[in-house]
Chain A
């Protein structure tokens, strides 16, 4: 299917209730399905009427003749077949409408997520986004493809049946509504408090789920501490709680809900009608033959009641899903600049920048900072001091609360997203690789790069040898054919950044989990990446960045001090204390006798001599 589905939520559909808005794009198809289903339901009553007529003719007193009976028998069969064919066609039309709706909605949602501010995306959590695109859209399926048609059938057939019965005998017809009325009343009683109970039901269910996940995730700890039985008991307490709640709920509504179901069963409906029929015919109010349509169609009148509970539940689920979908679609997108600006050069400057995630506590306060083109600026400070957040502002993962971030004199908010990321690249601690070939992962920022360029970047990032050792080389699919170690993934992401070749790079220096060999390789790769670029480094180990052109010390969201390593040591402030507490002034000389500490740039390019 190459046709692009029309946007499902057309702008003029806005302002309608969520469900109607979502269904707007497929409303014609749904209408067709409705009409087909209604016609099918009408056809479904025809056989009963035909059989009634047959009964009349057989009992009319004259000998039955084939010429009078066969057309009716054929009509009965044809009606049944037509009902089936129409019903299924309606089903297929509704399913196809649903199919189209699902694809359209999923693409719309994915596109919208792609335009929402990144901060909002990560706040929502990938679980929530996935469940909107997959589960909520899927929840609409029962509604669109089944429930709407069922509802049509459940309304059309009983109404038609009732109308026909009224023409036969209005008193008996009214009696046939009796079970239905009783069913509605009892059902209402049974559903009292259902909303609160449903909420509790869902809550209890998710308590079980998290208790089970906690039990399974913590099993290593639990078992290695010999505490298996206790965790076991915690989990069972959650499940027993659910079980008790459920039993209590059922017990409280058992009588009305059982009665509601029983009173509309065909047997009970027939009992009412046949008893009344015997009385009526015995009193001479009704001819015997008139009982036939009541026996045939009586159960049809009350049938919907048996299904209404399940259908109402589906409609509610569908409405809730639709509300979540529209809420996500209505979430504001990152505004595209009205007057796009272009960065003049690779100079970054932050002026009076403050930022708050929640609007009340500032994570960053009054930050003034400049990154000169071609220099290394290091962000240091205790965890929670705002280093990562500051770097994220440059990448426009969030927008500043006050102040400005400019690149080459252009406000980042005025730079169109695609242009921005041609200027700023990054290598973050949490390396993300796609389930695609190694080559495509490297090529992410420049899809048009040749194989040769990809290899050159991989070589510079010290990952080429590892790639060629993989079963399918550059065509190996990451995540399926191979799982790369943390260090390897990091080098691949450095290759990616090298190929993207942005003048500004944000770097999260983190090699805590790498073994010594891959740490060395990563460092060589980073040195290559740093060469000639404007670099903002989030540093966790002070030793790494002591030759930086500028070290910015963050503390509690403010810049505590900034300057070169030697200047900061001489200032004997916060940085000097950190340096001493890390024990670096003593250990560097001991552990790094070969590293030249005083030549200004010993590590610009890969050394390549260590192997």
Chain B
């Protein structure tokens, strides 16, 4: 586990930790030597009287004080090193996050990263002080004591030495057993946590359909299953938990019995026996301390594994010799894409192999002009946008911008070339102005005004009492969906990238603001390459080319009138949308 810790920390932070571990071993050995010195001290007290005990007492005192000094260093260094560990781990996590593909960060992963950075790192930070020190002391003090026993009576030494592997074996066996049982319980805990969340989130539905706890059997069953798993662990885990303590007591009993027997046959002097019993007592006491560390060790191992899992993720390959695109025309050449298994399972909860989202699509976006991408939900439209911005790399095929593979373009240049407005808007907990300025921190007031006008942002700002200085709240929750969407459009426009992707950017806009955006799109298409993903076909009408994506393939391509005449999926869509717009709701 210590090796695991070094691994997670990386090379740069391992020096101070190594020195700290050496200090801890030193403290443990000094403690053992101090205990061992009690033997000659007591022996002298009993056999020759207090007057002769002073030299041994001085030795004992010297050793004790040495121990106190080293131990004090361990305690203070433990915190210093811990604090350093937290810095290093936070930095490594943050660096790692920058190296991972954007697509890696699902909602679950973001939450997990938050937990890792707060709880897990802090628990690891406390490891040196709260776990490593007692652990090292529970190993090195007993070892010193066993070695010392040889000096006083070799038979006692041999007996204690023989007991060591037995204790170790029992320890390993019991930890494994408890860990195995723990795993079964973890599954039950996860299930019931899921059900509790479901119960809380679905209160309106559950109540309206008459389901209280007693009617929502899934929740009650999950809670009972967790409780049963817990009981199983308690009852079945007892042998595992008792065995080590039992073994330690047995060592004491055996040593005591043998010493009494040897005292009776005259081979062990009474003062030595008394001193050795004291020593055995201290030995058993130090060893037993390790039994209490079991839970802490399991948690620490778990923490390290989780940190390791993130730190060991394959980083996104960056070009070593970046190429500069000539122009901004986009080309997808036989592109296929399948989401990595882990992402699919974390968003779906299903462990099945994910199907291909894109299946050998080829498309071109000219340097200027409007391309619309339409298709049923789940057809892979958003994936096309993600691959263009290189949130993921293709499974097969190539995405090129200006004739250069996106994998060969330096990340900063790629970011400057492509601007995307996402379906789910993400705003930082800051002012509206700061959120828009992310697009171009040094933009002039004039450019900001222009972006605001095109996106309809100027109206948002006018609606709000604090205007540009309005704080958007955590994740932008202080604003309405339409306001948030306009901010995200404004910041993409401010960035003024030659390629602009709008993924369902109008979904939350009311018809009035949608109209504003539509005219902006028409204006922008004159000088930029625009890719618009839309369900509302009105946005699509004016496109220079329409691509219909269905089941991961491009099924149709052309202008609005061409496609309506073709009588394919697009014309079906058009008919249904037209009918939908004429639909009204009525009773009777």
16 additional A-B pairs beyond A88-B245, A226-B411, beta carbons within 8 Å, are A1-B227, A1-B231, A73-B257, A92-B234, A212-B118, A225-B439, A235-B94, A262-B75, A376-B586, A424-B208, A482-B350, A523-B580, A547-B585, A549-B586, A601-B588, A604-B586
A121 at the interface (CB under 8 A from B): yes
B331 to chain A, nearest CB (A): 20
Complex contact A80–B253 (CB within 8 A): yes
Question: In chain A, what residue has the closest Cβ to B197?
Answer: A130
Say which residue of A229, A417, A537, A581 sits within 8 Å of B511 (CB atoms). Answer: A581
B239 to chain A, nearest CB (A): 10
Residues from chain A with Cβ under 8 Å of B61 in the complex:
271, 275
Residues from chain A with Cβ under 8 Å of B76 in the complex:
254, 258
Question: In chain B, what residue has the closest Cβ to A488?
Answer: B377
| Selected A-B contacts with CB under 8 Å, 22 pairs | A1-B231, A51-B256, A55-B277, A64-B263, A114-B213, A126-B197, A210-B474, A213-B113, A216-B110, A235-B94, A243-B83, A267-B67, A288-B50, A482-B350, A513-B377, A514-B535, A519-B577, A531-B588, A544-B585, A582-B511, A591-B582, A595-B581
Complex contact B585–A527 (CB within 8 A): yes
Say which residue of B204, B223, B264, B475 sits within 8 Å of A432 (CB atoms). Answer: B204
Complex contact B586–A530 (CB within 8 A): yes
Residue of A88, A225, A549 with most chain B CB atoms under a 10 A cut-off: A225
Complex Cα gap A59–B105 (Å): 74
A321 to chain B, nearest CB (A): 16
B64 to chain A, nearest CB (A): 4
Complex contact B213–A288 (CB within 8 A): no
Question: In chain B, what residue has the closest Cβ to A546?
Answer: B584
Contact with B along A217-245 (1 / 0, CB 8 A): 11111111111110010011001101100
Complex Cα gap A95–B51 (Å): 53
Residues from chain B with Cβ under 8 Å of A384 in the complex:
480
Complex Cα gap A445–B211 (Å): 8
Complex Cα gap A84–B375 (Å): 70
Q: Which residues from 476 to 532 on chain B have a C-beta closer than 8 Å to any C-beta of chain A? A: 480, 482, 491, 495, 504, 507-508, 510-512, 515
Question: In chain B, what residue has the closest Cβ to A419?
Answer: B210
Complex Cα gap A102–B511 (Å): 53
Residue of A69, A113, A288 with most chain B CB atoms under a 10 A cut-off: A288
Determine, out of A14-22, A289-297, A403-411, the stretch whose residues face the partner at the interface. Answer: A289-297
B582 to chain A, nearest CB (A): 2
A6 at the interface (CB under 8 A from B): no
Complex Cα gap A361–B38 (Å): 77
Residues from chain A with Cβ under 8 Å of B418 in the complex:
224
Complex contact B376–A436 (CB within 8 A): no
Number of A-B contacts (CB under 8 A): 472
Determine, out of A103-111, A167-175, A450-458, A460-468, the stretch whose residues face the partner at the interface. Answer: A103-111
Say which residue of B204, B230, B581 sits within 8 Å of A592 (CB atoms). Answer: B581
Complex Cα gap A520–B581 (Å): 9
A205 at the interface (CB under 8 A from B): yes
Complex Cα gap A250–B411 (Å): 42
Contact with B along A70-93 (1 / 0, CB 8 A): 100100110011001000100110
Complex contact A73–B260 (CB within 8 A): yes
Q: Which residues from 185 to 208 on chain B have a C-beta closer than 8 Å to any C-beta of chain A? A: 192-208
Complex contact B102–A520 (CB within 8 A): no
Complex contact B203–A121 (CB within 8 A): yes
Complex contact A213–B114 (CB within 8 A): yes
B13 to chain A, nearest CB (A): 13
Q: Which residues from 84 to 128 on chain B have a C-beta closer than 8 Å to any C-beta of chain A? A: 86-87, 90-91, 93-95, 97-98, 102, 105, 107, 109-111, 113-119, 121-122, 125
Complex contact A51–B264 (CB within 8 A): no
Say which residue of B72, B228, B391, B482 sits within 8 Å of A220 (CB atoms). Answer: B391
Complex Cα gap A483–B125 (Å): 39
Complex contact B234–A243 (CB within 8 A): no
Complex Cα gap A199–B515 (Å): 51
Say which residue of B94, B199, B507 sits within 8 Å of A215 (CB atoms). Answer: B94
Complex contact A220–B46 (CB within 8 A): no
Question: In chain B, what residue has the closest Cβ to A135?
Answer: B193
